[in-house]
Structure 1
Amino acid sequence: MLVVGRIGKPHGIRGEVTVEVRTDEPETRFAPGSVLRTEPGANVPAHPGAYRVPGELTVEAARWHQGRVLLVTFEGVLDRNVAEALRGTLVGVDRADVAPPTDPEEFHDHQLVGLAVVTSAGERLGEIARIDHAPAADLLVLRRPGRRDVLIPFVQAIVPEIDLAGGRVVVDPPGGLLDL
């Protein structure tokens, strides 16, 4: 599954929820009628009879609130209690349904996760564990064996080369970045 969002808190009393967008195409992914898969095992009910997050959610409506928060209504989510049960659920689409980017400088997260990270001198540092989408820039999360993870800003000056075919990302980190 290619994650396109994470359901946040309810908004109002009629089942609308906030969504933390994790896609460059929210208008397409959250268009009315879009069917989104949910993370398996998300929000397992604490007791019998509690709301269980279905394997798929269908977008009924979506709108931007104050220009920065995406509010989504899913079919069948009619009140705040059900909306609250969805909180924290990851929603996404099948990777097979996503066309590769046409821009050679653009990548989907799933294309980068697991790639080896090496310095421009060829020293292997670890691998990409995930991509964090921060407001200022995307961050590559570098997992290093036996050490703490490091956040590397995904900018041309620090990440000059992505070699998908070779399974590696070349980084040229400024002094001290890997020591944090």
Structure 2
Amino acid sequence: MSELVEVIVGVIGRAHGVRGEVNVEPRTDEIERRFAPGAELRAGEGGKLTVESANQPSGRLVVGFREIADRTAAELLRGRVLSVRVPVDEQPSGREEYFDRQLAGLAVLRADGTVAGTIVQILHSPAQDLLVVDVDGSEYLVPFVKALVPEVDLAAGTVRLADVAGLLDDQAQEG
């Protein structure tokens, strides 16, 4: 049996309607996978919720849980963090996609192969994800796009950056 890791998949927001459905702020790119009917999620301190329905009217995630019968019960769960325990070696459903936990801690290589720093965090912005790279105690944000990060090698524990001036250097001269 493989080791399990707890992954945050969303945060419960306000109640939606009177039947106990709630708005959920997703913290995953795999909404269909994590909020599939029958999926069991952890809701904070020891609570377990079973997904009964999930849909996205107007782009918002609305989830019905088997254990929440009415609006009053739904309101009591507002702000609870939803998580799921998954095998540590689980892979994303999409090709060339990565979980944050796979990227955090990887060594960052410059285009010439020299070690520049370490990924300490991944920020999810509306435009694209950003790698937070620690270089000798200073943090740099690198857009996680193929043009700037052409190679991710999980087996080697590295990501390689493109040869672009200024990605990890405040003093870079523009040409």
Into which bin does the TM-score normalised by the smaller protein fall?
0.7 to 0.9
Q: How does 1:43-122 map to 2 (within 5 A)?
A: 53-66=45-58, 68-80=59-71, 82-96=73-87, 99-101=90-92, 105-122=96-113
Q: Which runs of 5+ in 1 are unaligned?
A: 43-52
What are the superposed Cα offsets for residues 102-151 of structure 1, whole Å, 9 maximum, x if unpaired?
7652222221121122222334333222323333222222244532x333
Alignment check: 8 A CA contact 1:16 1:72 kept: yes
TM-score normalised per structure 2 = 0.73
Point out the structure with the larger strand share: 2
Residue 80 of structure 1, CA deviation:
4.7
Cα separation, 2, equivalents of 1:69 and 1:140: 26
Residue 156 of structure 1, CA deviation:
0.6
Are 1:5 and 2:3 counterparts?
Answer: no
| CA RMSD after TM alignment | 2.9
Distance 1:83 1:100, change over 3 A: same
Q: How many aligned positions are there?
A: 164
Partner amino acid, structure 2, of 1:64: Q
Partner of 1:23: 28
Distance 1:102 1:64, change over 3 A: closer
Cα separation, 2, equivalents of 1:57 and 1:96: 19
Alignment check: 8 A CA contact 2:9 2:84 kept: yes
Partner amino acid, structure 2, of 1:17: V
Are 1:141 and 2:132 counterparts?
Answer: yes
Distance 1:166 1:35, change over 3 A: same
Distance 1:24 1:130, change over 3 A: same
- Matched residues, percent identical? 49
Q: Which runs of 5+ in 2 are unaligned?
A: 1-5, 171-175
Q: Which has the larger radius of gyration?
A: 2
Alignment check: 8 A CA contact 2:111 2:163 kept: no
1:165 to 148, 151, 155: 155
